Amino acid sequence: MKSLLALCLALLVASAHAQALPPPEIAARQYILIDLASNQVLAERDADSQAEPASLTKLMTAYIVFNALRDKKLTLEQTLPVSLRAWAERKGGGSLMFIDTTMTPRVSELLRGMIVQSGNDASVALAEGVGGSVENFVAMMNRQAQAWGLKNTQFKNVAGLTEAGHYVSARDVATIAAHIITDHPDFYPLYSIRQYTYNNIKQDNRNMLLGRDPTVDGMKTGYTDAAGYCLVASAVRDTPAGKRRLLSVVMGTASKEARAAESQKLLNWGWQAWDAVRLFEAGKPMATVPVWKGDRSEAKLGAAGALYVTVPKGEGDKLKTTIERTDPLLAPLTQGQRVGSIKITTAGGTAVATLPLVVQEPVALAGFFGRAWDAIRLWIK
């Protein structure tokens, strides 16, 4: 819940418009770079264009399986049958875990087969285990996409095979990846596994950045002839403001090496050109103001939680905070009630973020005489 709350708060933060170093030239059809601490988009190109996702599809497949595990609808040690449909994925020419109908792999093994080895067969076996059929599972994927408001996503299969009407955008892929990181932190470490062996067949994770950049701990590759080479990469570093995580999506690059190199360019630029700044602590009031007709004379106001913003390098100590609030403030007030806005700007007045100003502690209604006295004072005022 804490991670979900943090994500919801972060969604209120607008992208910084202050001048930053321009992003490097990225050799990809679509890309996006997001700072997940503030949920600010640092760079993008054609991020809302519908594109074939290839095995990036398996991010949503995994998310639905993680939900089922969280909800106790299956367990990691549970075994699942391998259907003829899952076995038939061998004929498709894509990535495989190499399971067959004589096997009963555990869910934990199938997850590694899908995430590390990018196995299409593992994806089908998991989909059937959770949804009863691939078709039911695909419907679950699309319902989740709709619940998140993904406008440029539609799934037709669970593995990422080329199929009419199967598409996502770079921004939507980033949203799915971010939800895995924030909603299922216990399962996210699966994306950092660099090698997995099943049935004596050893396969390497195709995310080359796992071996090149020690800050990269995920996330997923994809390739088809139509999609080109795609990569979602996530990296985390400790900063003075706390842990900072960058998430990049590149789609439609020319080779395995290119998707790794272009992703690394984006991540490096994100670290070098931008700073994360923690403006407010969770639960710490920003202002104590008069309240009328309440059982106390003052109310504590602040942000709903810790607030992070990402600003061009060197701009962090120049930010200005302005509070706009309702006046007069009348009881009763409930904790979390919005009573105004907090606006963050650069020294030059450029908007960086706007978020609700909320009540930190509830204020109950005063008794009859207290309300009457304040009514007279307000009338005189």
> Among all residues, which ones are annotated catalytic?
55, 58, 118
What is the spatial distance between Cα 184 and Cα 163, in angstroms, rounded to a whole number? 29
Site of tokens 């909603």:
183
Nearest one of 123, 180, 179, 134 to 156, comparing CA atoms: 134
Handedness of CA 255, 259, 260, 264 (dihedral sign): positive
Half-sphere exposure of 28 (CA within 13 A, CB side): 35
Q: How many CB atoms lie within 10 A of CB 9?
A: 20
Nearest one of 217, 149, 168, 181 to 56, comparing CA atoms: 168
Instruction: Identify the helix (H) or strand (E) that includes residue 237.
Output: strand 228-239
Nearest one of 329, 379, 339, 331 to 359, comparing CA atoms: 339
Nearest one of 164, 151, 166 to 56, comparing CA atoms: 166
83-101 burial: b if 16+ Cβ within 10 Å, else e: beebbebeeeebbbbbbee
Site of tokens 């209120």:
12
Terminal alpha carbon distance of the chain = 44
What is the spatial distance between Cα 5 and Cα 150, in angstroms, rounded to a whole number? 19
Site of tokens 């190499």:
98
What the block records as the tokens of 219 is 């996330």
DSSP SS3 for 31: strand
What is the spatial distance between Cα 70 and Cα 363, in angstroms, rounded to a whole number? 37
CA 244 to chain centre: 13
